Amino acid sequence: MDRYERILALHRSLKTARYPVPIKRLMEELACSRATLYRDIAFLRDALGAPIESEGEGSIRYDEKEAERFELPGLWLNSDELHALLAAHQLLDRTGQGVLSSALAPLKGRIESLLAQQAGGKRWPVERVRVIASGVRRRDELAFRLVASAVLERRQLEFDYLARSTNERTHRKVSPQRLTHYKDNWYLDAWDHEREGLRSFSVDRIQHAKLSDAAARDLADAELNQHLASSYGIFSGTPKGTATLVFSAKAARWVADEHWHSKQEGRFLPDGRYELKVPYSQSKELLMDVLRYGADAEVVAPEPLRQQARTLLQLALSNYER
Say if 130 falls within a structural domain: no
By residue range, what is the domain housing residue 173? Answer: 141-229
Say if 136 falls within a structural domain: no
Same domain, 54 and 19: yes
Residue ending a domain, among 171, 196, 229, is: 229
Q: Rounded CA gap, 314 and 317, in Å?
A: 5
State the CATH number of the domain containing residue 208.
2.30.30
Say if 19 falls within a structural domain: yes
Residue ending a domain, among 229, 264, 294, is: 229
Same domain, 40 and 108: no
Say if 234 falls within a structural domain: no
DSSP 20: P
* Helix or strand (DSSP H, E) at 25: helix 23-30
What is the number of structural domains in the chain?
4
Smallest CA-to-CA distance from 157 within 168, 146, 165, 167 is with 146
Same domain, 37 and 99: no
Say if 105 falls within a structural domain: yes
Do 176 and 215 form a contact (C-beta atoms < 8 A)?
no
pLDDT, tens digit (0-9, with 9 covering 90-100), for 305-319: 999 999 999 999 999
Same domain, 28 and 90: no
Say if 127 falls within a structural domain: no
Q: Please give the order of strands across the beta sheet that includes 169-182.
A: 197-202, 185-192, 169-182, 155-162, 206-215
Say if 161 falls within a structural domain: yes
DSSP 288: H
Smallest CA-to-CA distance from 265 within 276, 252, 250, 281 is with 276
Strands (E), the chain: 21-22, 52-54, 59-62, 155-162, 169-182, 185-192, 197-202, 206-215, 241-247, 265-268, 274-280, 297-301
State the CATH number of the domain containing residue 25.
1.10.10.10
Same domain, 247 and 220: no
Same domain, 173 and 223: yes
Same domain, 250 and 308: yes
Q: Rounded CA gap, 209 and 187, in Å?
A: 14
Q: Rounded CA gap, 65 and 60, in Å?
A: 15
Cβ-Cβ contacts under 8 Å for 129 (sequence gap 6 or more): 86, 87, 90
Q: Rounded CA gap, 311 and 89, in Å?
A: 43
Say if 90 falls within a structural domain: yes
**Could you read off the pLDDT tens digit of each residue along the chain, which spans 322 residues?**
677 778 888 998 998 888 899 999 999 989 899 999 999 999 989 888 899 998 877 899 998 888 888 888 765 666 666 666 666 666 656 555 555 556 666 666 666 676 666 556 666 666 666 666 666 677 677 888 889 889 989 999 999 999 887 889 999 999 999 988 887 788 899 999 999 988 889 998 999 999 999 999 999 888 887 777 655 455 556 778 899 999 999 999 999 998 888 889 999 999 999 999 998 888 888 999 999 999 999 999 999 999 999 999 999 999 998 7
Q: Rounded CA gap, 48 and 62, in Å?
A: 13
Smallest CA-to-CA distance from 118 within 154, 148, 82, 142 is with 82
Rg of the chain, C-alpha, whole Å = 27
